Amino acid sequence: MKKITLLSLCLMQFTISAQDTHYWTQAFGTKSMLMGGAVVGGVRDNSAVYYNPGALGFNPHNDLSITADAYQVDRLTFKNGAGQDQHLKSTTYHTMPLIISGLVKLTKSNRHSFGYCVLSKDAFSMKTIARVDDFRNILNDSYSPGDEDYVSNFTMRSSLSDMSAGIAYAYKVSDRFSIGLTNMGGYRDYQSEWLRVTRAIPTDTAAFLQNVATFDRSYSVKSAVVNTFFKLGLAWNFPRWKFGLTATSPSIRIYSDGKVISDVTATNIDYFNAGVLISWTANDYEKKIKTQYKTPFSVGFGTEYNHDEKTIIAFSCEWFAPVKKYNMLVPKNNLYLRPANINYISADSALTISETKNSVFNFAIGFQQKLTEKTSASIGFRTNHTYSKKSALTDLNLTYTNWNLYHFTIGVTQKRKESDISIGINYGMGRKKNVTQWLNIQNVSQANGLQGELEKGNIAFNSLSVVIGYTKYLK
């Protein structure tokens, strides 16, 4: 019975949690992208559909705007992520549109405004690979004397795409106050793959024929969710000051689909260093699984101060409520560990994907200075804190981005007769110490499935993008 219990622990020592852990990754709209997203109070362009629908009532134009990341590069370094001096690295390049939005005034009184937007709310991808090919004494010398040929490959891929669209209505109550409501809908697609293939091959000919030790672990998860949510916005306009207040509802699921594939196989593993070789496998494949992704209730506030028609200072903040632990994807109660007479473990108990969200408070500061009659320069800063709870040492996390991010922007805007053009640079950074390794290919033992005890490493994340914005004023 002791052997059965330890075997179960070896299989179950990993739990699965959700991926991507930030709410303020992107800034949408020409003004917002250059001022770090500090526009909840002062936004008066089409991005108010997303930031504060109440502010649409103060926009006098029918217009169309497009804001895009022309080019972006993300760099992740996990120092000692696979063992001492075994660093994991990921570099990704991508281009993507951030927002296309418009505003329509249907009445001459300009009290009623309708807005729309299509935006890329979240986008993330990461890939890292590790390999070791070495001679090490891992197996018991009683049946495999001397060093073994140790080979281990590790690959991790993760990607996230969240495309959203929304419509908004605003009513301008007076020259000082406007109120609006946005309904957003989004399609969130998340995919993750985790693969580790390990071999300990005896160099002794007789042992090789019988006792090659292997440990393979693979996961593939796909989740697609269509959600909707509502945002209420209030906006106030004064000669030098502008204010905004928003409340965003939790998300409501409309459609979902998920898939999970998992295989864990061990052969000829001497877990107890007693010369008893054990082989087992755990396998399941399920599709058309209902999935969930919950976003919380949030409250935002912003203000903007116009000092002298040339200098603008802005501040915005948003508080996101916590979300209690919930299951994102739950497989059926299928047989997972095989042979079944070892110890019954079901797929739902081993492969359920869950998530818990802490409350988050983010803030942004922006500054704009008019340089000439038609040209202005802007700088901005915003926090982008993670909602991820700290994982236990033994967790296998699909939450690869559980560190705080900080974004810095700088750019210029050129005004023309019927359009505006903006260009800027955004730099994002994140650091986290004492992060549990994703694997350890050093100090390998059979008791740990042909890898070492998981230790700690440090993560450094850097992102650099060029952002371009264009606004066309329609008659």
* pLDDT tens column, 317-359: 999 999 998 988 889 988 898 887 777 788 888 888 888 899 9
Lowest mean per-residue pLDDT among 96-110, 207-221, 256-270, 274-288:
96-110
Q: Which helix (H) or strand (E) holds 6?
A: helix 2-12
Q: What confidence category does residue 120 fall into, taking pLDDT thresholds of 50, 70 and 90?
A: confident
pLDDT score for 2: 34
Task: Please give the Cα distance from 342 to 2 (Å, whole number).
Answer: 12
- Residues with Cβ within 8 Å of 102's Cβ and at least 6 positions away in sequence, in order, are 46, 62, 63, 64, 65, 115, 116, 117
Main-chain phi, psi angles of 127, to 5 degrees: -145, 135
What does the pLDDT look like over 424-441, one tens digit per residue? Answer: 999 999 999 988 888 898
pLDDT score for 402: 81
Q: What confidence category does residue 394 fall into, taking pLDDT thresholds of 50, 70 and 90?
A: very low
Instruction: Pick the more confident residue, 421 or 123.
Output: 421
Asked if pLDDT for residue 13 goes beyond 60, the answer is no
Asked if pLDDT for residue 9 goes beyond 50, the answer is no
- Please choose, from the candidates 432, 440, 439, 423, the residue with its C-alpha nearest in 3D space to the C-alpha of residue 459: 432
- Strands 16-17 and 353-357 turn out to be parallel
**What average pLDDT is seen over the chain?**
86
What are the structure tokens assigned to 38, written together?
A: 């500090």
Domain extent, residue 309, equals 2-474
Average pLDDT over every residue of 237-251: 96
- Strands 323-329 and 353-357 turn out to be antiparallel
Asked if pLDDT for residue 12 goes beyond 60, the answer is no
Task: Please give the Cα distance from 356 to 322 (Å, whole number).
Answer: 8
Asked if pLDDT for residue 233 goes beyond 60, the answer is yes
Q: Quickly list DSSP for 388-413.
A: BPPPPTT---S-TT-S-EEEEEEEEE
Instruction: Pick the more confident residue, 297 or 393.
Output: 297
Tokens 């281009």 appear where? 95
Task: Please give the Cα distance from 224 to 293 (Å, whole number).
Answer: 9
Asked if pLDDT for residue 108 goes beyond 70, the answer is no
| Alpha helices per DSSP H over 92-234 | 205-210
- Strands 88-105 and 456-474 turn out to be unpaired
What are the structure tokens assigned to 327, written together?
A: 């299951």
* CATH number, residue 277: 2.40.160.60
What does the pLDDT look like over 446-472, one tens digit per residue? Answer: 988 899 988 899 999 999 988 888 877
Task: Please give the Cα distance from 244 to 32 (Å, whole number).
Answer: 14
- The DSSP code for 335 is B
Q: What confidence category does residue 259 fall into, taking pLDDT thresholds of 50, 70 and 90?
A: very high
pLDDT score for 186: 95
Asked if pLDDT for residue 146 goes beyond 60, the answer is yes
Contacts 24+ apart (CB under 8 A), 205-211: 207/139, 207/143, 207/144, 207/145, 210/143, 210/268, 211/139, 211/143, 211/144, 211/268, 211/277
Average pLDDT over every residue of 245-255: 97
pLDDT score for 364: 98
- Is there a contact between 196 and 216 (Cβ–Cβ < 8 Å)? yes
Asked if pLDDT for residue 371 goes beyond 90, the answer is yes
Task: Please give the Cα distance from 116 to 339 (Å, whole number).
Answer: 56
Average pLDDT over every residue of 46-73: 82
Number of domains forming the structure of the chain? 1
Q: How many Å from the N-terminal Cα to the C-terminal Cα in the chain?
A: 80
Share of the chain above pLDDT 90, in %: 51
Share of the chain above pLDDT 70, in %: 90
- Residues with Cβ within 8 Å of 259's Cβ and at least 6 positions away in sequence, in order, are 220, 221, 222, 286, 287, 288, 289
Asked if pLDDT for residue 172 goes beyond 90, the answer is yes
Asked if pLDDT for residue 140 goes beyond 90, the answer is no
Task: Please give the Cα distance from 178 to 339 (Å, whole number).
Answer: 66
For 210, other C-beta atoms within 10 Å of its C-beta total 11
Most confident stretch, 57-66, 108-117, 364-373: 364-373
Asked if pLDDT for residue 370 goes beyond 70, the answer is yes
- Please choose, from the candidates 318, 239, 319, 254, the residue with its C-alpha nearest in 3D space to the C-alpha of residue 292: 254
Asked if pLDDT for residue 159 goes beyond 90, the answer is no
Cα dist from 448 to 124, 126, 266, 394, whole Å? 31, 26, 11, 11
Asked if pLDDT for residue 15 goes beyond 50, the answer is no
Instruction: Write down how long the chain is.
Output: 475
- The DSSP code for 437 is P
- Please choose, from the candidates 135, 250, 221, 257, the residue with its C-alpha nearest in 3D space to the C-alpha of residue 397: 221
Asked if pLDDT for residue 3 goes beyond 60, the answer is no
Q: What confidence category does residue 393 fall into, taking pLDDT thresholds of 50, 70 and 90?
A: very low
Asked if pLDDT for residue 44 goes beyond 70, the answer is yes
pLDDT score for 392: 37
Average pLDDT over every residue of 161-187: 95
- Is there a contact between 166 and 178 (Cβ–Cβ < 8 Å)? no
Q: What confidence category does residue 362 fall into, taking pLDDT thresholds of 50, 70 and 90?
A: very high
Average pLDDT over every residue of 381-402: 67
Q: What confidence category does residue 68 fall into, taking pLDDT thresholds of 50, 70 and 90?
A: low
Asked if pLDDT for residue 1 goes beyond 80, the answer is no
- Please choose, from the candidates 464, 438, 451, the residue with its C-alpha nearest in 3D space to the C-alpha of residue 79: 438
Asked if pLDDT for residue 6 goes beyond 70, the answer is no
